[in-house]
Amino acid sequence: MNKTADIKEKNTPASLIDGDFIRNPEHESGKNPFIWSLENLTPDQIAAPVPPKKKSVADYVIDIARNLLLVICLGVFAYSAYAIVQQLIDYRRAELLYTEAADMMGEFDPLNFDTSAFENLDTAYQGNPALRKSAAMPRFDNTKIATSTSEQLDEALSNVKVSGYNARLEKMKSKLNAMSLKNPDIFGWIIVGGTQISYPVVQSTDNDYYLKRAFNGEYLPAGSIFADYRNYKSIMKNFNTVIYGHNMLDGLMFNGIVYFMDEEFFKNNKYIDVYTSEGIYTYEVFSIYKARYDEGYIRTEFENYDQFIEFEELCNSKSLFQREGIEFKEGDRMLTLSTCTNGPWYYRYALHAQLINVQT
């Protein structure tokens, strides 16, 4: 065997190997092996094209269903994107609107009225004389209905002297009156200590109107903080003043009520102030729990004080945590805040507070 030929074969590039022979560029035309193979194809070596498969009715149905599903998915995606953007816009609108209202009212921190500083409310008194221990609310006959009870109470309070000029209250009154000129439904203003809750309160002739309306009457999904339509605007006429608000996921409105579900927060934060054109009402939180919407925690009508005290005790017994020093007696007035849980639609957070001070 020729050694030179063997060496030459070993050094020949693999790209020049075609079948069982070697194409040597030195002896051939130098054409690319692929091009050369195409030029030497015969008709018998070319496969005939495969005819397309004829679609059945089922194939057409599947294609239509697939395209329809695609259109539906695109539609759902587009609507979801729109809904998210619109929700963000609504959140921003609510934030700006209520921030503007808060700026107009000015900075009003909770009063944090400390009852320990007034062990003898007869001599060290601030607020309404009707809350003195020696001037408890009159005992009403058990046969009297709630309406006549409120009328008698209103008559008793009409003889109460104003405790003196209160610059803080007068400032709030003037601003609430200014808001009332724009919307007569203005009920007052609420501040819940330890939370972001500081909002105007409105009241309509039903409990639906302000669910998706701002305090100025404009459409707003975040709605308003509003008092139950069954309550009197004169707070002292109400055994149980009930106020509602949405539990917004962005922290607005009554979202702060959720904080009281934490025991440490419940212990360290307990005061709520409600401002109206008649006075500043300070409440002490004593109960927080989750309730069904139809559980009766928003009850407003009571035949007598005994029945109302039973209601207070029931609300207290349902609380997740207990507040020390809470006593229920004649003359009590209560505040109930209610908001949704963002869980099952029929559940609500119920927050109850007892009136401890009035400034007029």
| Tokens 């002739």 sit on residue | 205
Assigned token pair, 208: 């639906």
| Helical residues (DSSP H) of the chain, grouped into ranges | 3-10, 33-39, 57-105, 146-157, 167-182, 263-268, 305-318
Distance from C-alpha of 180 to C-alpha of 96, rounded to nearest angstrom: 20
- Among 94, 280, 340, 358, the one annotated catalytic: 340
Distance from C-alpha of 17 to C-alpha of 21, rounded to nearest angstrom: 6
Distance from C-alpha of 203 to C-alpha of 201, rounded to nearest angstrom: 7
Distance of CA 19 to the CA centre of its chain: 78
Distance from C-alpha of 183 to C-alpha of 178, rounded to nearest angstrom: 9
Assigned token pair, 359: 């400034």
Q: Is 315 a catalytic residue?
A: no
Closest CA to 115 of 358, 359, 360, 357: 357
Closest CA to 339 of 254, 270, 263, 281: 254
Nearest-Å Rg of the Cα atoms of the chain is 39
Beta-sheet pairing, 240-244 with 280-292: unpaired
Asked if 203 and 190 count as a contact pair (C-beta separation under 8 A), the reply is no
Distance from C-alpha of 315 to C-alpha of 318, rounded to nearest angstrom: 5
Residue-level length of the chain: 360
Distance from C-alpha of 86 to C-alpha of 105, rounded to nearest angstrom: 29
Q: What are the residues whose beta carbons fall under 8 Å from the beta carbon of 162, sequence distance 6 or more? A: 360
> Which amino acid type is present at position 356?
I
Assigned token pair, 58: 């089922």
Q: Which residues are catalytic, by number?
A: 340
